[in-house]
């Protein structure tokens, strides 16, 4: 315990230059030194040693409090300082980007100075606005556009700017009961870090005593699941386009050190031009302690109710490809809204729980490619146990129906995606391996997002929801609760500490509010 206290104190020494530190309802500032003597660091150490790390007496309930407080400080420190460092890096990157643009614009020195002053004012405004509290009352709900196992997604409009966003609402009670806290933290952290054209952009995250809120860009094109349900199958040209874009999206998060683990058509969103953006990072794994949890279980011991039926009605007989596709489509929508999901896209090494790497996302890419060309996933079965068995015995069960002919290049690519993890296409050198595969011949990898999408998306306005399902049974009002007063800590809310986030672009952009 003593060595850990020394380690914590060493980390906190970084904070000695800051004027104020708030921690678990306590405020420590430089005035402490003037009033009571001693340095800020000493006061922090004293606070930690007394309030957090006091050893509990034997056979006392205080032992639980000590353990809980130790976890609290660990998670708080990790998230606080990672956020602090990230903000510093982002600030430097914005300034560097400005200076780079000034070189290319051929401006006079006076004009450059004016641009720098404008940028400095924006940074100041950003810091000021970051301190303001954001809540559901700042948004006008327009329509419910999604529903999941633990909450809903609404199209909302920010009242002061008029900007339209997608608001993802997650119920805290469900997160705690279903042990989803690590997944929620992972999703928030990935969206903060992955400010990239291939990933859905998050502008804000905040919470109240009941819910967690993610405010993200609204992508009016819908998702790949809906597109596949409309089209049945895609041509090889269209498949090449969407698999190429999805591979680039996956590569972008792998370069950040994250593994998605839940790549499936539901999580491939389409923007207004029909291009792919990756979403739903709830199962994403990274290096942070707050992302770790045991999630997958051995499906060989699973009960039938643990997963939804994916193909078939339980008759037990073999089906031809047309009937399998029809059965898959019938059940697909229910799978998307279920708390249990489907094992169809999960790599075998993830089921085994013996260790896995980024290559598990490449497996999922192969399954999606098969579904695009054939009309249903390759291991689609009448029950989840059978799907699990097929995935684990992929050498015998990965077959291509003769009544749905596809090219040898397409077959070879799918087989190279759905094979042993270390031999998988993309497992060793990432996207560079895909660029050499014959199926992807002719892809302009550097400019693919600039070309027209393989299937154009019809979007009439920025708030067009025609590519989304209707949810008439879900109330439009945003469920919320009053915010607690400063210093008031709701029991178990410590697991959601440092959840709040505000992006620079979201706070400095301005628009004209519109009336609906």
pLDDT of 365-416, one tens digit each? 999 999 999 999 999 988 888 999 999 999 999 999 999 999 999 999 999 9
Q: Which range is most confident: 8-22, 318-332, 341-355, 362-376?
A: 362-376
Strand extents, DSSP E, 162-275 = 164-171, 202-207, 211-217, 268-270
Does pLDDT of 441 surpass 70?
yes
124 has a pLDDT exceeding 50: yes
pLDDT bin (cut points 50, 70, 90) of residue 339 is very low
**Beta strand residue intervals within 18-148, DSSP E:** 20-23, 26-29, 139-147
> CA 368, CA 348: separation in Å to the nearest integer?
15
Q: Report the alpha-carbon distance of residue 369 to residue 374 in Å, rounded.
A: 9
Residue 103 annotated as part of some ligand binding site? no
188, 214 contact by CB (below 8 A): yes
Closest CA relative to residue 433, chosen from 300, 303, 254, 196: 254
For residues 514 and 471, the model is more confident at 471
3-state secondary structure of 21: strand
> What is the C-alpha radius of gyration for the chain, rounded to an integer number of angstroms?
25
| Mean pLDDT value across residues 75-103 | 70
**Which has more confidence, 154 or 34?**
154
The predicted structure's pLDDT at residue 23: 40
Of residues 132 and 144, the one with the higher pLDDT is 144
User: At 90, is the pLDDT very low, low, confident or very high (cuts 50, 70, 90)?
Assistant: low
- Among 104, 162, 189, which residue's Cα sits nearest to residue 501? 189
Q: To which H or E segment does residue 158 belong?
A: strand 151-158
CA 330 – CA 232 distance, rounded (Å)? 12
Q: What is the mean pLDDT of residues 39-54?
A: 42
Specify the 3-state DSSP secondary structure of 173.
helix
pLDDT at 156: 96
Q: Which residue has 């045991």 as its token pair?
A: 294
Integer Cα distance of 499 and 496 in angstroms = 6
Tokens of 317: 């007989």
Contact 142, 124 (CB under 8 A): no
By mean pLDDT, which of 88-92, 236-240, 293-297, 379-383 is the weakest? Answer: 293-297
- DSSP reduced 3-state for 143: strand
Closest Cα partner for 265 from 129, 371, 179?
Answer: 371
pLDDT band at residue 76 under the 50/70/90 scheme: low
Asked if 44 and 28 touch (Cβ cutoff 8 Å), the reply is yes
Cα distances (Å, whole numbers) of residue 345 to 328, 378, 434, 460:
14, 9, 20, 33
Q: At CA 273, angle to CA 271 and CA 274, rounded to 5? A: 65
Higher pLDDT among residues 275 and 258, named by residue: 275
pLDDT at residue 489 greater than cutoff 50: no
Q: Is the pLDDT of residue 1 over 50?
A: no
- DSSP H helices, 399-465, are 408-417, 431-436
Whether 513 shows a pLDDT value over 60: the answer reads no
In this model, does residue 135 exceed pLDDT 60?
Answer: yes
Q: How confident is the model at residue 63 (pLDDT cuts 50, 70, 90)?
A: low
Q: Which of 189, 223, 262, 266 is catalytic?
A: 262
Specify whether the CB–CB gap between 391 and 348 falls below 8 A. yes
Closest CA to 348 of 299, 310, 311, 313: 299
Q: How many CB atoms lie within 10 A of CB 421?
A: 18
Please identify which residue in the block is written with the tokens 């892809």.
Answer: 443
In this prediction, residue 502 has a pLDDT band, given cuts at 50, 70 and 90, of confident
Give pLDDT tens digits for 138-163.
999 999 998 877 789 999 999 988 99
Of 207 and 54, the one with more pLDDT? 207
Does 16 or 460 have the greater pLDDT score? 460
Least confident of 24-38, 267-281, 287-301, 304-318: 287-301
Query: Tokens 């819908």 map to which residue?
Result: 222
Most confident region among 183-187, 233-237, 261-265, 315-319 by mean pLDDT = 233-237
Range from 105-119, 256-270, 371-385 carrying the lowest mean pLDDT: 105-119
Most confident of 37-41, 78-82, 183-187, 418-422: 418-422
Structure tokens at 125: 């405004």
201 within 8 A of 494, measured Cβ to Cβ: no
SS3 331: helix
Which tokens sit at 144?
């419910």
Predicted structure pTM score? 0.69
**284-328 pLDDT, tens per residue?**
665 343 334 343 333 344 444 444 445 653 333 345 776 777 666
The reply to whether 262 belongs to the active site is yes
Q: pLDDT band at residue 113, thresholds of 50, 70 and 90?
A: confident
**Alpha-carbon distance 507 to 182, whole Å?**
27
Residue 6: both structure tokens together: 């020394």
Q: Is the pLDDT of residue 247 over 60?
A: yes
- Class of CATH domain 133-220+470-507: alpha beta
pLDDT greater at residue 379 or residue 110: 379
CATH of 222-301+321-440 among 3.90.180.10, 3.40.50.2300, 1.10.510.10, 3.40.50.720: 1.10.510.10
pLDDT for residue 254: 92
How confident is the model at residue 194, as a pLDDT? 79
Mean pLDDT (the chain, rounded): 76
């Amino acid at each position: 315990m003593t060595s850990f206290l020394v380690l914590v104190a060493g980390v906190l020494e970084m904070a000695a230059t800051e004027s104020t530190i708030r921690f678990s309802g306590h405020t420590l500032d430089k005035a402490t030194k003037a009033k009571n003597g001693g340095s800020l660091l000493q006061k922090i150490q004293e606070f930690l040693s007394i309030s957090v790390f006091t050893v509990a007496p034997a056979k006392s309930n205080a032992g639980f409090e000590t353990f809980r407080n130790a976890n609290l400080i660990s998670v708080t420190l990790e998230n606080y300082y990672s956020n602090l460092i990230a903000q510093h890096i982002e600030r430097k990157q914005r300034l560097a980007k400005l200076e780079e643009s000034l070189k290319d614009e051929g401006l006079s020195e006076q004009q450059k100075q004016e641009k720098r002053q404008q940028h400095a004012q924006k940074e100041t405004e950003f810091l000021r606005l970051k301190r303001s509290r954001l809540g559901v009352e700042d948004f006008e709900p327009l329509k419910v556009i999604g529903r999941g196992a633990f909450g809903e997604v609404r199209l909302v409009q920010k009242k002061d700017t008029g900007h339209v966003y997608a608001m993802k609402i997650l119920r805290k009670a469900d997160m705690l009961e279903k042990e989803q806290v690590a997944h929620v933290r992972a999703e928030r952290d990935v969206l903060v870090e992955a400010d990239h054209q291939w990933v859905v952009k998050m502008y804000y995250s905040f919470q109240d005593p009941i819910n967690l809120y993610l405010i993200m860009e609204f992508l009016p094109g819908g998702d790949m699941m809906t597109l596949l349900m409309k089209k049945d199958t895609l041509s090889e040209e269209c498949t090449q386009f969407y698999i190429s874009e999805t591979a680039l999206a996956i590569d972008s998060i792998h370069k950040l050190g994250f593994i998605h683990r839940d790549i499936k058509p539901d999580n491939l969103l389409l923007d207004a031009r029909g291009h792919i953006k990756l979403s739903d990072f709830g199962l994403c794994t990274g290096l942070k302690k707050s992302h770790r949890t045991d999630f997958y279980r051995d499906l060989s011991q699973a009960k039938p109710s643990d997963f939804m039926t994916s193909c078939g009605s339980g008759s037990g007989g073999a089906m031809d490809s047309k009937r399998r596709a029809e059965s898959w489509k019938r059940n697909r929508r229910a799978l998307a809204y279920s708390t249990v999901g489907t094992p169809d896209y999960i790599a075998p090494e993830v089921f085994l729980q013996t260790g896995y790497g980024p290559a598990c996302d490449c497996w999922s890419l192969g399954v999606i490619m098969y579904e695009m060309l054939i009309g249903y996933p390759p291991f689609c079965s009448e029950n989840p146990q059978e799907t699990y068995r097929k995935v684990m015995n992929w050498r015998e069960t990965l077959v291509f129906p003769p009544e749905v002919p596809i090219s040898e290049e397409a077959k070879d690519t799918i087989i190279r995606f759905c094979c042993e993890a270390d031999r998988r296409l993309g497992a060793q050198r990432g996207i560079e391996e895909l660029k050499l595969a014959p199926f992807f011949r002719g892809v302009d990898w550097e400019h693919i997002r600039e070309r027209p999408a393989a299937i154009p998306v019809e979007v009439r306005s920025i708030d067009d929801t025609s590519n989304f399902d209707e949810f008439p049974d879900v109330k439009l009002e945003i469920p919320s609760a009053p915010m607690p007063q400063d210093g008031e800590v709701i029991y178990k809310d410590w697991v959601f500490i440092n959840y709040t986030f505000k992006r620079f672009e979201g706070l400095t952009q301005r628009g004209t509010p519109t009336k609906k």
